[in-house]
């Protein structure tokens, strides 16, 4: 599936401010970038680098009103769906780079969910079956509602609220998987079909030697999702992090079938 | 300075449990390991690996009552003290691997401290001077008291409590440094002179191209500190993480001048 | 049922400290006090008063090591069990004094549980049936375990932990009832059969024009419970509140059938 | 000073919903109500009562789009300013009805501020002098800024944020006073000069046998403040509490010199 992406972020900075932006799409075998363009206006020196998972991001110092725009055409090839089978690996078999994703993090306090996770999912089968049970539980128990959560809402709170948006669904899914000793990481994405269009948050679980993408909101078709970056939780995958407070002027995200 | 370290952790597990242990001392140019021995009884297969910063840890699967013991003789060579000068690097100049240590984490919510950090430290000078001002502020405003905090206490709460132990001092120090855009990471250590002897938590700041070790509690002399590992906060540097609940039976940490 | 109660609280105060103590048993038609004695040593002037619900408490100023002892023999007459029927009253029909117990409080944040309470209990019937459903849910989903919670644990956290002690069961029960618009208040008590013996926390719901006592832990027989006082949550019913920090030296609570 | 007040609350309810409203002005010797009118449209049966402090509120059951309007002309007579002298009363001398206002509450966790309060205010003098020191500290350390806090923000968080609105200033002021053993309660009010006009939150301290009104924001002149009701914190003084979620359509608050 071929997809066109167009993002425009317009922010106002009161003073020279260091920023970190994660808006460029991932390069991977199942996600080919056919064309892309990144612009910052007024022009500003960009320092490009990659996060620990190899995804692209850039840093810059900006001031005044700044427009960051990014357009891309991406071809989604054979998207790997969560397989029918796929066993959970014990800690001792997991590759080193997956270990941070077993541990609790700010928005995903998996340690306090151990008892609930055992009670609810101990008999849900292994690996993929367990993850499917987690996704089903979320779908049956949490409502997709705007206005209940804030950017500071943790999975603990969403578990009580029983409502939230993609970010909250993702945090709760990650939390429950980690509580079950399945490595899970947050993924930022562009996704077809969100209403209103916005950045999407989903997550990946590590089963049988590979990361598998899942969308706990069930809002976007897997072939309509374009991966941006990954990390422990929303903190790591923010599309824009700034060293000082700033003001959002306008922000548009568009994605369409090419 | 030559130091002898002896740790014994005795824990009881109700079922086969995956564990991750970070108790072996770091190898570095200023910290030479002259001798060491790690034993797990009953004998259990150990999977050795390194964390992202190159420090050693091991994983294993254990069951029943388990004793993990580690002894080492370490020579602390020319310990690098925080230099008199040492400028803060802007985000755009920082090496990639330091970026995660600019971001808020579970116990170090630096984002909510930005206003306080600016109010208190904006005029404290650059780099080393700023870090010294943070350490002075902590020393003057926070009491070292057992029993006020728990393993779940965040820097937000310690800032209100105005009391805590090494872990809390470290979280608050890291939080304030990150709020000032100085990368800061938690470090676990063995330290001479703690009463009662225990694992120690300190932190490192990244200034002028290097990580510098600081002890916000001022409890241990820098040459009496032996580094174990590092990470975002206490979650990453726990000496023992277990996939399932377990019971501590006994735990002793000893360090003495050799 | 006739019950003997003996409490001894030994605390150490570093300086003259104002205290508020709620340890005397309630007087009510179904709880007759046959004999009682309250002593504070060294002798100290006691200021007796009553809380808003008419239960007794006293204030004093103490210093040094202080022993507060209270003994009583109480006859539990026809204890009123939660009736088979008993309708929930709409806000507009509730007496004024019950309204504070509809609102969220520190340990009972009922406002964030509205969605869960509706999802889980909307079809559980009215009044008594709803309260019974709440008690059943707690009994089936929360384990009675020491060491999981602290005196700061809220119902939000217990809902995630799925474990706690009487105080936590009570806070969760109150929270769910208030979320369903049923007034609920915390009650402190002496109770037969607790192991180890300690102050007990239970709660009362307001249905059909009266407060009804329920024990969400199901640990003590209703006729073995002796009421002390009531309030919004644990803050209001603490057996001892002090204006300054102090140290507990020893504390014993005994209750036995007379 | 004579003041005209006009409030209009327009809310939409999806189903028959019980409400509790506190918008009528207090009657007191220094606040005379010259004229007032309360209307609910569509017309609905109102159940009038008083809170524990004698202030008026009403309950009703409403459905669909509802407009609650209240107009009043109030004469502010000799407003009692915080006196130059006024000693703090020890717990043992305080009247019963003030005791709940010594205890921590949801938004005012005064127990965790004891150490800070002692460190900062122990030498600030007695009674009025201490309260003045608290007000000065808040004024010097907290910025009045919209958008930092939410209706769930506690004094703990405001103490870290160092920013907030009237509700947050009031919670922090109450918290610090209670931590110093001075009874303090939240007060809702209409106030001249707020921009934009809105309900105002201030607080009262109990010194020398009387409640004294203070405004920690210093935004409104004391003679331009019209008291509505009081309670432990924002929970108790909400102008509208509803048993079920509803939607705010429009809300206007106007106050002007008559």
List the one residue out of C253, C245, C183 whose CA is nearest residue C220.
Answer: C253
Q: Are the beta carbons of B160 and D162 separated by less than 8 Å?
A: no
Test mutation, A17, A57, A91, chain B, max B CBs within 10 A: A91
List the one residue out of D188, D178, D195 whose CA is nearest residue D227.
Answer: D188
CA–CA gap between residue D207 and residue D184 (Å, rounded): 10
Chains touching chain D through at least 3 C-beta pairs below 8 angstroms are B, C
C178–chain A nearest CA distance, Å: 15
Mean pLDDT calculated for residue range C30-37: 94
Q: Which residue of B has its CA nearest to D149?
A: B112
Confidence category of residue D9, pLDDT binned at 50, 70, 90:
very high
List the one residue out of A178, A235, A168, A224 whose CA is nearest residue A204.
Answer: A178
Test mutation, C108, C115, C119, chain A, max A CBs within 10 A: C115
User: Which chain A residues have any C-beta within 8 angstroms of a chain B C-beta?
Assistant: 18-20, 45, 47, 49-52, 59-61, 90-92, 96, 99-100, 103-106, 109, 114, 181, 235-236, 241, 243-245
Quote helix, strand, coil % in chain D, to nearest 5: 25, 40, 35
List the one residue out of B190, B182, B229 whose CA is nearest residue B20.
Answer: B229
B1–chain A nearest CA distance, Å: 33
Q: Taking all residues of chain D, what is their mean pLDDT, rounded to a whole number?
A: 95
pLDDT tens readout for residues B98-144: 999 999 999 999 999 999 999 999 999 999 999 999 999 999 999 99
Closest residue to D20, CB basis, from C91, C235, C241: C91
C203–chain A nearest CA distance, Å: 22
CA–CA gap between residue C49 and residue A249 (Å, rounded): 59
Closest residue to C160, CB basis, from A113, A141, A163: A113
Please give the interface size between A and C, counted as residue pairs whose CB atoms are below 8 Å apart: 35
CA–CA gap between residue A168 and residue C99 (Å, rounded): 33
DSSP-assigned letter for residue C108: B
User: Which chain B residues have any C-beta within 8 angstroms of a chain A C-beta?
Assistant: 18-20, 45, 47, 49-52, 59-61, 90-92, 96, 99-100, 103-106, 109, 114, 181, 235-236, 241, 243-245
Q: How far is CA D237 from the centre of its chain?
A: 6
Q: Are the beta carbons of A243 and B91 separated by less than 8 Å?
A: yes
pLDDT at D195: 87
CA atoms within 13 A on the CB side of D29: 2
Looking at beta carbons, which residues of chain D come within 8 Å of C92?
Answer: 18, 45, 47, 59-61
Q: Is the pLDDT score of B91 beyond 80?
A: yes
Q: How far is CA B34 from the centre of its chain?
A: 22
Q: How far is CA A177 from the centre of its chain?
A: 15
Q: Is the pLDDT score of D78 beyond 80?
A: no
Chains touching chain A through at least 3 C-beta pairs below 8 angstroms are B, C
CA atoms within 13 A on the CB side of B229: 25
C245–chain D nearest CA distance, Å: 9
Mean pLDDT calculated for residue range D138-153: 97
Task: Find out whether C204 and C82 touch, Cβ atoms under 8 Å.
Answer: no
Worst-scoring range by mean pLDDT, B75-79, D143-147, D205-209? B75-79
pLDDT tens readout for residues A146-183: 999 999 999 999 999 999 999 999 999 999 999 999 99
pLDDT at A83: 80
Q: What is the number of other CB atoms lying within 10 angstroms of the CB of residue A233?
A: 27
Q: Are the beta carbons of B99 and A20 separated by less than 8 Å?
A: yes
Phi, psi for residue D75 in degrees, rounded to 5: -105, 115
Confidence category of residue C53, pLDDT binned at 50, 70, 90:
confident
Q: Are the beta carbons of C156 and A157 separated by less than 8 Å?
A: yes
CA–CA gap between residue B27 and residue B5 (Å, rounded): 15
CA–CA gap between residue C4 and residue B243 (Å, rounded): 46
Q: Is the pLDDT score of B206 beyond 80?
A: yes
pLDDT at A223: 87
CA–CA gap between residue B172 and residue B197 (Å, rounded): 22
Residues whose CB falls within 8 Å of the CB of residue D206, separated by 6 or more in sequence, listed in order:
D89, D94, D98, D101, D182, D183, D184, D185, D212
User: Which chain C residues have any C-beta within 8 angstroms of a chain A C-beta?
Assistant: 112-113, 115-116, 119, 141, 143, 156-157, 159-163
Test mutation, A110, A121, A144, A160, chain C, max C CBs within 10 A: A160
The SS3 call for residue C37 is strand
Q: Which residue of C has its CA nearest to A175?
A: C160
CA–CA gap between residue C256 and residue D153 (Å, rounded): 46
Question: What percent of chain B shows pLDDT beyond 70?
Answer: 99
Confidence category of residue B29, pLDDT binned at 50, 70, 90:
confident
Closest residue to B119, CB basis, from D113, D115, D162: D162
Test mutation, C61, C108, C185, C235, chain D, max D CBs within 10 A: C235
pLDDT at C52: 81
pLDDT at B78: 72
Comparing C52 with A154, which gets the higher pLDDT? A154
B41–chain A nearest CA distance, Å: 18
Please give the interface size between A and B, counted as residue pairs whose CB atoms are below 8 Å apart: 69
Question: What percent of chain D shows pLDDT beyond 90?
Answer: 88
Q: Which residues of chain A have pLDDT under 70?
A: 80
pLDDT tens readout for residues D171-201: 999 999 999 999 999 999 999 989 889 999 9
Q: What is the number of other CB atoms lying within 10 angstroms of the CB of residue A248?
A: 10
DSSP H stretches of helix in chain A:
114-121, 128-141, 155-161, 166-179, 234-237
B213–chain A nearest CA distance, Å: 23
CA–CA gap between residue D173 and residue D154 (Å, rounded): 12
Q: What tokens were used for A174?
A: 């990650």
List the one residue out of B48, B21, B2 whose CA is nearest residue B251.
Answer: B21
Q: Is the pLDDT score of B51 beyond 90?
A: no
DSSP H stretches of helix in chain D:
114-121, 128-141, 155-161, 166-179, 234-237
Chains touching chain B through at least 3 C-beta pairs below 8 angstroms are A, D
Q: What tokens were used for D57?
A: 């509120």
Can you give the pTM of this predicted structure?
A: 0.96
Chains touching chain C through at least 3 C-beta pairs below 8 angstroms are A, D
D118–chain B nearest CA distance, Å: 11
Q: Which residue of D has its CA nearest to B175?
A: D160
Q: Which residue of A has its CA nearest to B101?
A: A236
Q: Are the beta carbons of B235 and A103 separated by less than 8 Å?
A: yes
Q: How far is CA D64 from CA A24, D61, D248, in A?
A: 47, 11, 12
Task: Find out whether A225 and A215 touch, Cβ atoms under 8 Å.
Answer: yes
Q: What is the number of other CB atoms lying within 10 angstroms of the CB of residue B135?
A: 21
CA–CA gap between residue C215 and residue C222 (Å, rounded): 8
pLDDT at C31: 92
CA–CA gap between residue C237 and residue C52 (Å, rounded): 12
pLDDT at C30: 85
Closest residue to C162, CB basis, from A116, A156, A157: A116
Task: Write out the DSSP string of chain B.
Answer: -EEEEEEEEEEEEEEEEEEEE--SPPPBTTEEEEEEEEEEES----EEEE-TTS-EEEEEEEEEEEEEEEEEEEEE-S--PPPS--PPPPGGGS-GGGGGGGS-BTTB-GGGGHHHHHHHHTTS-STHHHHHHHHHHHHHH-EE-TTS--TT--HHHHHHH-EE-HHHHHHHHHHHHHHTT--EEEEEEEETT-SS---EEEEEEEETTEEEEE-TT--S-GGGEEEEEEESSHHHH-SEEESS--EEEEEEEEEEE-
pLDDT at A9: 98
Q: Are the beta carbons of D243 and C50 separated by less than 8 Å?
A: no
DSSP-assigned letter for residue A147: T
Looking at beta carbons, which residues of chain D come within 8 Å of C56?
Answer: none
CA–CA gap between residue A135 and residue A170 (Å, rounded): 10
CA–CA gap between residue D67 and residue D251 (Å, rounded): 9
Q: What tokens were used for A152?
A: 């500071």
Q: Are the beta carbons of B115 and D162 separated by less than 8 Å?
A: yes
CA–CA gap between residue C126 and residue D166 (Å, rounded): 40
List the one residue out of D252, D248, D250, D258 whose CA is nearest residue D226.
Answer: D258
Q: Is the pLDDT score of D148 beyond 80?
A: yes
The SS3 call for residue D97 is helix
Q: Any idea which residue has 């370290």 for tokens?
A: B5
Question: What percent of chain C shows pLDDT beyond 90?
Answer: 88
């Amino acid at each position: 599936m071929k997809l066109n992406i167009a993002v425009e972020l317009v922010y106002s900075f009161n003073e020279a401010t260091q920023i970190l932006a994660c808006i460029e799409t991932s390069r991977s075998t199942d996600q080919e970038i056919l064309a892309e363009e990144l612009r910052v206006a007024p022009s500003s020196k960009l320092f490009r680098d990659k996060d620990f998972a190899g995804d692209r991001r850039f840093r810059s110092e900006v001031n005044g009103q700044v427009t960051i725009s990014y357009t891309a055409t991406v071809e989604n090839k054979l998207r790997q769906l969560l397989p029918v089978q796929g066993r959970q690996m014990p800690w001792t078999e997991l590759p080193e780079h997956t270990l941070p994703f077993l541990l609790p993090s700010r928005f995903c306090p998996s340690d306090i969910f151990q008892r609930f996770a055992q009670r609810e999912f101990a008999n849900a089968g292994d690996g993929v079956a367990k993850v499917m049970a987690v996704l089903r539980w979320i779908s049956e128990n949490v409502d997709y509602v705007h206005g209940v959560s804030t950017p500071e809402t943790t999975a603990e709170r969403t578990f009580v609220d029983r409502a939230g948006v993609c970010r909250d669904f993702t945090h709760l899914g990650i939390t429950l998987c980690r509580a079950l000793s399945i490595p899970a990481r947050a993924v930022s994405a562009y996704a077809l079909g969100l209403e209103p269009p916005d950045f999407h948050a989903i997550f990946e679980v590590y089963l049988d030697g590979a990361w598998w993408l899942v969308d706990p909101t069930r809002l976007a078709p897997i072939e309509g999702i374009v991966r941006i970056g990954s990390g422990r939780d929303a903190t790591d995958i923010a599309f824009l992090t700034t060293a000082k407070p700033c003001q959002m002027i306008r922000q548009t995200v568009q994605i369409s079938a090419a």
